[in-house]
Structure 1
Amino acid sequence: MQYFNTAGYRDNLARASGRTFDYRTPLSDGSWDAWRADFRAALRERLGLNRIGTVPVGLNPRRTESVECDGYTREKWYVTSEPGVEIPFYLLLPGTGEGPYPLVITPHGHGARGKETYVANYASEEDRTSNEQGERDVAVQAVKEGYAVIAPDVRGFYEMGGEEEWLKSDGKGNSCVNFQKVALMYGRTLIGERVHDMGRLIDYAATRPEIDTSRIVMTGNSGGGTVTLFAAALDDRISVAVPGSYVCTFEKSIIPIGHCPCNIVPGILELGEMYDVAALIAPRPLLIVHGIHDEIYPIEGTRETYGHLRNVYAAMDAESSCELYEGSGGHRYYKERVWPFVRTHLRR
């Protein structure tokens, strides 16, 4: 029996596909601003962002809960993203210090409980132990650093998941497959929809006098790292980007390794590799956080992307604004370097 030559097929595609927006071209010929504008427009089209939010709709914010926690207040809110779609999120505000506070937005990864994990609202002691070992209480970390925090559910998870998938999985699954299928049929993508939602949350933050929207950080792990990277690449309102356990190369991670379909952007490699996308963030501060034993985003690809980004930031005389922090474990969040990096660059 003969099997399909998968490796040869992939190699052939890679050889035949030139990247239209290879970052090295504008660095060498001085066309960076035009490259950036054209690449962003093309990327928005591939993500389907031009088909999202086309019907004007108000934010329609509504608060459903306010809880006093240890040193901070946690409010639960909903805002409208597009007709018929609300984004549920927690707003955490420090109990000390003076506002307006810098804002940290914390999109979560592929955990069934979504935002609840990031605000340390655990389902059980077992859930607490597992997530604390992975340092996934990211929103709590941020508010205790003195920042306002928006911790949303991303599409496909928890309150932004579909009822059918939730019931079938006994509350342990997600709606990524079904939502991505529907999105693709209409020329959209889940990544694009999630990026759009982050923009709506920033719009809401701008209505809050307690929040300084001139200083916005975005950080999340795994799927949250995906949202962070793409949102920061397309939205200059994000001042500092800290993607965790995602940054690699498409050819070393998304293509050869089994991933959730929500990672797919049709034709992305015709435009650029992951480091080309990440280059759109420059010269804004970018900290890549990654475990050396991450099995689904191999560290070799992470180092390759970081090497390219160092070239970009060096060309912009901004080398100190781009870092790679390598954690000693696997696919998880690593907070050790995150908050010192954020503190330093928000001061600047």
Structure 2
Amino acid sequence: MTESILFATSRYMQNLRETVPREFDYTRVPDHGDWKQWQRTFRDRLTEVTGLAHIRAHHRGLPLSPRTEEVTRFAGYRREKMYIASEPGVEIPFYLLIPEQGNGPFPLVLTPHGHGRRGKEVYVGNFSSDKEQESALAGERDIALQAVAEGYAVIAMDVRGFWEMSREEEFVKGKTSSCDELQKRAFLFGRTLIGERVHDMGRLIDYASMRTDIDTNRIAITGNSGGGTVSFFTAALDERISVCVPGSCFCTFVGSVMNVPHCLCNVIPGMMQLGEMYDIVGLIAPRPALFVHGIHDHDFPIEYTREAFAHAKIIYEAMEPHLSEHCELFEGNGGHRYYKERVWPFIRHHFGL
């Protein structure tokens, strides 16, 4: 088979770029009136296409029904294993870590995990083997432990599709996730895994707001890879997030999801009709956002991350020139992993600590 008769992907992509303009291209903000109107309209539309609007409308008022399974004490903090209701019959399993030292209420850090079979367990240091521990620590993925050591309350949850939130059919076969199967079902009902995961984060914030030992006026969200994507979209669609630190995910859609093989959970139907990834940054601005990325990340190539960040910086400078320093890119000298070096100083600064 000769190359000439294979599908012409490059030409196809050119056709799409030329015929599908982005409705919320940030350079067209004047078409929407001003930045605030652009944000309101864009956020509403993105809430719709992810299915989040439908989920919220149908499950608003559902009792959280929190239940505690166990409480364990460690040096410097206690860990509560808990569940709350997300949808009827669907619970979110999570660990709540509370520092033993200092005076509450404590600022909150949400730590959604990436594409690892054991989900939240790795982030809280509940390793199943020496090999898992070695790999996690090499990639600095014990993020919940890092956060509680900083003196923050932490919620480390299973992201929908993984570990306790995976389907039995995939779990018993030892598969990493149920992303593809859950995404297919979500698509058929006008929903997406991104929308469902953002909804879950919102329910966890709702629960945190009930606790007197947590300060929900200061909420950071940070995770790596798929957890970075959850962090990014949660901050864009839930304005209760104060500081957003996505790791190993910020790029352009053209340079990542459409350029490198990726899990189906990264896909939102019609997304490019609305905006590129850097346009979505405009829904986070001017709140502080730190994008953490490895220069050798092959899943989200650094050249496209730098391109996206250049646009993000323009958005911050245009929206609130005196707050342009709220938008940063930290480049780690490695691959697709977490880089904590800049994360905690950034969060500490913007929490006012």
Q: Could you say whether these structures have the same fold, taking a TM-score greater than 0.5 normalized by the shorter chain as the test?
A: yes
Deviation of 1:277 (Å): 0.7
Match of 2:234 in 1: 231
Find 1:310's aligned residue among 309, 313, 329.
313
Match status 1:144 vs 2:149: yes
Residue 93 (str. 1) matches residue 98 (str. 2) = yes
Report the CA distance between 1:5 and its aligned residue. 0.8
The amino acid across from 2:165 in the alignment is M
* 1:26 matched to 2:29: yes
Instruction: After superposing the two structures, state which structure 1 stretch, 31-40 or 51-60, moved more.
Output: 51-60
CA RMSD of aligned residues (A): 1.2
The answer for the alignment partner of 2:49 in structure 1 is 46
Q: Supply the AA of the counterpart residue of 2:305.
A: T
Q: Secondary structure at the match of 2:96?
A: strand
Write the distance in 2 (CA, Å) between the matches of 1:307 and 1:235.
Answer: 24
Does the alignment pair 1:111 with 2:116? yes
Alpha-carbon offset, residue 319 of structure 1: 1.2
Q: Residue 135 of structure 1 contacts residue 334 of structure 1 at CA under 8 Å; is this kept in 2?
A: yes
1:266 is matched with which residue? 269
Question: 2:251 maps to what in 1?
Answer: 248
Q: Deviations over 1:294-325 (max 9, x none)?
A: 00101111111110111111121211111000
Please give the alpha-carbon distance, in whole angstroms, between the structure 1 residues aligned to 2:144 and 2:203: 18
Aligned-partner Cα distance in 1 for 2:10–2:172:
38
SS in 1 for 2:43: helix
2:296 to 290, 293, 296: 293
Matches within 5 A, 1:29-178: 31-53=34-56, 54-55=58-59, 56-169=61-174, 172-178=175-181
Query: Is the 8 Å Cα contact of residues 27 and 312 (structure 1) preserved in structure 2?
Result: no
Matched, 1:277 2:277: no
Q: 1:29 to 1:183 in 2, by over 3 A?
A: closer
Shift of 1:154: 0.5
Could you say what secondary structure the match of 1:52 adopts? helix
SS at match of 2:135: helix
Q: Distance in 2 between matches of 1:11 and 1:89?
A: 44
Residue segments in structure 2 that go unaligned for 5+ positions in a row: none
Q: Which runs of 5+ in 1 are unaligned?
A: none
**Matched-pair identity in %:** 58
Q: Distance in 2 between matches of 1:14 and 1:257?
A: 18
In structure 1, C-alpha distance between the alignment counterparts of 2:300 and 2:122, rounded to whole Å: 22
SS in 1 for 2:351: helix
In the alignment, the residues of structure 2 paired with residue 176 and residue 40 of structure 1 have an alpha-carbon distance, to the nearest angstrom, of 24
1:20 is paired with a residue of what secondary structure? Answer: coil
Deviates more, 1:338-347 or 1:46-55: 46-55
Report Cα offsets for 1:23-45 as digits up to 9, x if no partner: 12226986111111100111011
2:115–2:176 Cα contact (<8 Å) kept: no
Q: Secondary structure at the match of 1:146?
A: coil
| Residue 15 (1) aligns with residue 18 (2) | yes
Hey, what does 2:216 align to over in structure 1? Answer: 213
Shift of 1:159: 0.2
Q: Is the 8 A contact 2:67 2:84 kept in 1?
A: yes
Alpha-carbon distance in structure 2 between the residues aligned to 1:85 and 1:28: 41
Structure-2 separation of matches of 1:215 and 1:98: 15
Question: Counterpart in 1 of 2:200?
Answer: 197
Cα distance between partner residues in 2 of 1:88 and 1:39 = 31
Moved more, 27-36 or 131-140: 27-36
Alignment-mate amino acid for residue 288 of structure 1: F
Question: In 2, distance between residues paired with 1:197 and 1:221?
Answer: 17
The whole-number CA distance in structure 1 between the counterparts of 2:68 and 2:17 is 49
Conservation of the 8 A alpha-carbon contact between 1:145 and 1:339: yes
Structure 2 counterpart of 1:341, one-letter code = F
Asked whether the 8 Å contact 1:142–1:148 carries over to 2, the reply is yes
* SS in structure 1 of the partner of residue 172 of structure 2: helix
TM norm structure 1: 0.98
Secondary structure of the corresponding residue to residue 156 of structure 1: coil
After TM superposition, the score normalised by the length of structure 2 is: 0.96
Letter in 1 for 2:91: E
